[in-house]
Structure 1
Amino acid sequence: MAGPSILDVEVEELGSDGRPRAVFKWDSMTGRLQMSILPSITMPKTGTSLLHKCMGPFLPAGYPSTVTPDYTPYQIYDSLQAFASTIAGLLASRAVFVGMGVGSEDASLVTTMLLYIAQETIGRVATILFAHQFSQRIEAEVKFYRFFADIVNDTAFVLDCLSPAMPTLGRVVTLCVSNACRAVCGVAGGSSKAILSAHFAKAGNIGELNAKDGSQETVVSLVGMWVGGFVVSRVHGTAATWRCLIPLLAFHLWANWKAVRSVRLSSLNTDRALIFFRGILDGQLKGLDQVGEEEIILGWSNESSGLHGLYPCRFRVGVGLKNLVMTMNNRASHQSQVSGDLVQLFRIFHEEEYVLWFDIETREGIILLKDTATGTTQARSLCHMLRCCIKIQAPTNPPVDAEDVEQDDRGPRSRRITLAREPGEKLHMVQEIMDATEHQSNVSNGRQRSIQLLKDTLYENREQWSRIRDQAEQAGWDLDLTNLVKGHATRIRLNAPLQDKKVK
């Protein structure tokens, strides 16, 4: 008997959580479509299944497979901080009402309305100014601004509780500053939450994640209001209010700190990039968890450089050509020297999407980004700059002390000048001219050493970058999301050919 002309087809139906619900099979022999319900979806009514159903309205579909692993600890601590913040907010609101004279016969409706208008005006102006000045920095430093938002929010609570003890003018100023703090919290907190939602949404379900997060906050705030109402009705007097408020604010900040510390971002900002590439250049591959543990949220570090074990090195990414020229001018005596070094620098980096200048003497790095630069370009340029830092601080190149530079076989220069004064003033002037010439020679030599260092490290960076990029991707890092620019970014475009011309 001849075989079937139509092949058997089996289709598996998946639910919104990604789990199979049913199987449809086309039987070519009978010509019928058969459906079978998978028994795995018929769950017994146990405590676990009931809890799952109750949590369904507050968790994204397919949880936990549709979110990143750090979503759960973050949401737990975020709910705890929201609970404490709601209670503290009620205590602060009561203090504001007392300061406005609510319940007092001397209270003036017009005065209260004018105070409200003043608060709203200051708050909205603060919103505009903060968003204009810091909006471009939030994405790169999302953890910092998420925690910073709660710091200024708690500051607003403290100011509200201080306002009743202030004179009339002081109360107005205090409440206006308090409202400005809340406005800053709204911008920083709202923006950082949106960025974190995009990070948590592994399946691209950002809209659902935000909606479910709103449901969670609603329930937590509602419970917090019930508990806060009980607390406010039992706590009376200034001293009792502060005894209750301070532990709540401390718990609020602790929960926020734990929440942001639990997040494991796959993008590289300045601090994460320094930790990761410093490890790579030392032969250690660090993943998201390792870097997250070492990352500094508030910018506090034992190293003044922030380069994790290196001597102080300063650097800026995404600045303009003017900043580079000013930096190079500080080490040059003539404008022609800067122009020549700039042309030489652009020739070195004409095939790259960035331009790096690293001064050996001042240990200052300047990274210019071309108009074609991407996030990966920023990561590559920082890796190059770290190579320069490590090279000059190797045992063969110890940090140079200013006094050591001025000393030779005849002793310190200050002693030579003193001896030169004895024969006469003219000899002293000659010695000063010689010293100035020697200083310019040292500066010129240092600039040439900087350029040679850039050439050597650029070759190394090119040779090893493919391997470093592959290792970073294997460790879970997305180099395309790298953002090292703080504030407004500036790009450059080279319109003139800079390749060396051959003489015919």
Structure 2
Amino acid sequence: MAGRHSASCLPAPAPHTLQPQQVIVPFTAGICTRFEDTFVSKRATLHQIFCLIAGCSQTSPLNATALALRRCTMPSSPATPQLKLMDRQRRFELTDLFPKDPYGEPPKRHGIAELVNSGKAVELVEIEKSGHQGRRWLHFPNHQNERDTGTPANRRLLGWRKWLFEAFVPVGFPSSVSSDYAAYQTYDSLQAFFSTITSLLANRALLQGLGVGDANSSATYAMLLTVLKDATSRIATIIFAHRFGLVIEPEAKKYRFLADLFNDSAFFLELFSPYFGSFGKAAALCVGEALRAVCGVAAGASKAALSAHFAQQDNLSELNAKEASQETAIGLIGLLVGTIIVHLVENQTVVLVMMVVLVYMHLRMNLKGVRAVQLKTLNKQRASILFEWYQTMGYVLTPMKVAEMESILFWNGKITNALEEPVCRIDYARSFEDAMGTLETRGEVIVVDGFMHTRFVRPYCSPKKLADIKIIMWEGAEPQHVILAWFSAMQTAYVMEKSVPYGDARKEDFYRSKDDKGPERLIDQLHGGARDELLWEKMERYSWDLKAGSLEGGDSARISTTCSRVSVDH
């Protein structure tokens, strides 16, 4: 029997033995079919034996799923069907998909149409993109379909579970998202619930601040105050997006938490606004609106970065849509509970206590949510934690371990030496002038060339005057070069102390031009730590994303190494 797709020849089975074989055929949906000669019931006992139909040895890269076919027949002889192989070395031709002899007897086909229209009962199993089995179907000879749901209890549960999953979680969950998605969404839903109740309590105070219920207030005053609030909000949005737009993605967890911190601060300003005077009330409401605008920018940008991390099967749009559905459902529940609380609680002291408790729970859930995220991209903090452990302990940490050690808000950026003393700060230079420093300190700078980067090292003097290493990447540097530059700078700081203020920058094998009166220019040597192959192999094995450019940041400078010499007359 000749297959219409490339396949591997299998050894002939022993006579009178059962030889089950499977084949994968590229298609838009994965279905596993099983034929029965006589269909009596779902549990009918049949005499069946498996044989290979046709197919290819691996799935096509052009299709997201695969079709697995099995047919139950009784062979007339124990001989194994012979498969016609395609020569993998020669060029693929379109005619390979069709019979070579169009005038001869056409080969026996075993496609889906033949199996479904054969007049026999067929069991179909859907295969998801991830390769896991999905829903099971029974196709009857009268072209009726019935979903195989197992026991009657499972059938009763199937309805609401199916609706719940399809409405609020991505298709193919949990295999279609990262492993930390469920934990983050659980805490995110809880924090949204507490935030909704808090907003209702604050909105009541906001209406009082706008003059609702005050006979001395006018509609004009409320309108002007609203216009002032909106103008402040728009200006704050533009300024914050311009200033922090490039740093939100590498620090997505930090700004996701800060967004809710800004929002809760706005709630408290609105809560106390009725107790201020006319000017104080307007100032409090405008500042609160500006904080809420900043919250919107920070939350939106950080959520986009986190969603890109969660999406595993090109389902970013669907994941965002389902997250919006989750927030809507939780918001409805929060509105119901919050309405009851607002109706029952009017004492200002009780309202203040409830606000404090709700805000604490809101921030607590948000902190737990962002801490549960195990980002695989390296920012400055995660890169420092990763290489510090490898440099001191010889271990390469996984994204989960680094997430447990990562600080959400209070990372000071100080790099320690072998004695665990803070000695240095490392950063990517925003310009060549930023790398060289001020005119007074340029004489102390040592310039070190590394692989596709240059480091500008200022000495370590005391715990109050730490060393400073600025990195400038060369034109054409890849994300791996950016990571290597950071590791190399950390290795320089690792051997810094008062007696060795430049760390390993002052090596014996460096050269210095006698005619050059500027800063020393060093040629970097191979590092045993930063360039250790074991380090990079384990980073790839532990699924660290070495191709993401989130470490350098968008405001850093790059220098072309094809510079010309310019004569300067003094």
Match of 1:197 among 293, 307, 310: 307
Alpha-carbon displacement from aligned partner over 1:392-419 (angstroms, at most 9, x marks no partner): 3xxxxx54499xxxxxxxxxxxxxxxxx
Whether 1:34 and 2:101 are equivalent positions in the alignment is no
Instruction: Provide the secondary structure at the position in 2 that maps to 1:481.
Output: coil
- Quick check: 1:24–1:34 contact (8 Å CA) kept in 2? no
Alpha-carbon shift at residue 150 of structure 1 (Å): 0.4
> Contact between 1:318 and 1:485, CA under 8 Å: does it hold in 2?
no
CA distance in 1: counterparts of 2:285 and 2:236, whole angstroms: 13
Q: Displacement of 1:497 after TM fit? A: 7.4
Q: Is 1:70–1:264's contact at 8 Å kept on the other side of the alignment?
A: yes
Match status 1:256 vs 2:333: no
Map 1:201-280 onto structure 2 (within 5 A): 201-280=311-390
Correspondence for 2:427 among 316, 324, 329: 316
Cα distance in 2 for partners of 1:373, 1:95 equals 54
Residue 359 (structure 1) aligned with residue 461 (structure 2): no
1:14 to 5, 30, 36: 30
* Equivalent AA in structure 2 for residue 354 of structure 1: H
1:78 is displaced (CA, Å) by: 0.3
Partner of residue 246 from structure 2, selected from 128, 136, 145: 136
Aligned-residue offset at 1:21: 8.8
Q: CA deviation at 1:321?
A: 1.4
CA contact (8 A) 1:357 1:367 kept: yes
Q: 1:377 aligns with which of 481, 494, 498?
A: 481
Is 2:224 the partner of 1:114?
yes
Q: Please give the alpha-carbon distance, in whole angstroms, between the structure 1 residues aligned to 2:163 and 2:251.
A: 36
Counterpart in the other structure of 1:62? 172
The two structures, once aligned, show a CA RMSD in angstroms of 3.3
1:179 maps to a residue whose letter is E
User: In structure 1, which of residues 147, 172, 176 is the aligned counterpart of residue 282 of structure 2?
Assistant: 172
Structure 2 gaps of 5+ residues are 8-22, 32-63, 74-106, 117-121, 126-134, 137-147, 462-466, 512-520, 566-570
Alignment deviations for residues 95-150 of structure 1 (CA, whole Å, 9 cap, x no partner): 01112221344331111111100000000000000000000010111111000000
Residue 200 (structure 2) pairs with residue 90 (structure 1): yes
- Give 1:300 deviation, angstroms: 4.3
Hey, what does 1:437 align to over in structure 2?
A: none
Q: How many angstroms does 1:310 deviate by?
A: 4.4
Q: Aligned partners of 1:147, 1:81: CA distance in 2, in Å?
A: 11
Give the superposition deviation at 1:299.
2.1
Match of 1:294 among 392, 405, 410: 405
Residues 66 and 201, structure 1, Cα contact 8 Å, conserved in 2:
yes
| SS at structure 2 position matched to 1:123 | helix
Q: CA deviation at 1:364?
A: 1.8
The question of whether the paired residues in 1 share the 8 Å contact of 2:484 and 2:530 is answered with no
Q: Does 1:468 align with 2:535?
A: yes
Alpha-carbon contact 2:189-2:330 (below 8 Å) kept? yes
1:6-37 CA distances to partner (integer Å, 9 max, x unpaired)?
6798647339xx88898587995577710333
Q: What CA deviation, in whole Å up to 9, does each residue of 1:133-174 have, x standing for no partner?
A: 000010111111000000000000000001010111100000
Return closer, same or farther for 1:323/1:54 CA change in 2, 3 Å cut-off.
closer
Contact 2:479 2:547 in 1 (8 A): yes
1:491 aligned residue: 558
Establish whether residue 326 from structure 1 lines up as the match of residue 437 from structure 2.
yes
Q: Which range moved further: 268-277 or 53-62? A: 53-62
Q: Which letter maps to 2:403?
A: G
Question: How many residues are aligned here?
Answer: 435
Q: Which has the higher contact order (CA 8 A, sep 6+)?
A: 1
**Separation in 2, partners of 1:159, 1:19:** 54
Structure with more helix by fraction: 1
Tell me if structure 1 keeps the 8 A contact 2:455–2:471.
yes
Tell me the CA shift for residue 475 of structure 1: 1.2
Question: Can you list the C-alpha shifts for 1:322-347, whole angstroms capped at 9, x where unaligned?
Answer: 123226851628xxxx7xx65xx4xx
- Per the alignment, do residues 99 and 371 of structure 1 end up closer, same or farther by CA in structure 2, a change over 3 Å counting? same
- Structure 2 residue 186 is matched with structure 1 residue 76: yes
The C-alpha deviation readout for 1:452-493, integer Å capped at 9, x for no partner, is 499686312598344322221111101221423456221111
% of aligned pairs identical?
Answer: 31
Query: Residues 165 and 448 (structure 1 numbering): CA distance in 2 closer, same or farther, change over 3 Å?
Result: same
Give 1:158's aligned residue.
268
Once residues 328 and 202 of structure 2 are traced to their aligned partners in structure 1, the CA distance between those partners, rounded to angstroms, is 20
TM-score, normalised with respect to structure 1: 0.78
Helix, strand or coil for the counterpart of 1:365?
Answer: strand
Deviation (angstroms), 1:47: 3.3
**Aligned CA distance change for structure 1 residues 449 and 31 (closer, same or farther; 3 Å):** closer
Q: Name the CA distance, whole Å, in 2 between partners of 1:327 and 1:287.
A: 40
Q: Tell whether the 8 Å contact from 2:454 to 2:472 is kept in structure 1 after alignment.
A: yes
* Pair 1:5–1:299, CA change in 2 (3 A): closer
CA contact (8 A) 1:317 1:484 kept: no
Contact 2:371–2:403 at 8 Å: present in 1 too? yes
Q: What's the CA shift for 1:366?
A: 1.2
Indicate how the Cα distance of structure 1 residues 155 and 306 shifts in structure 2: closer, same or farther if over 3 A, else same: farther
TM-score normalised by the chain length of structure 2: 0.69
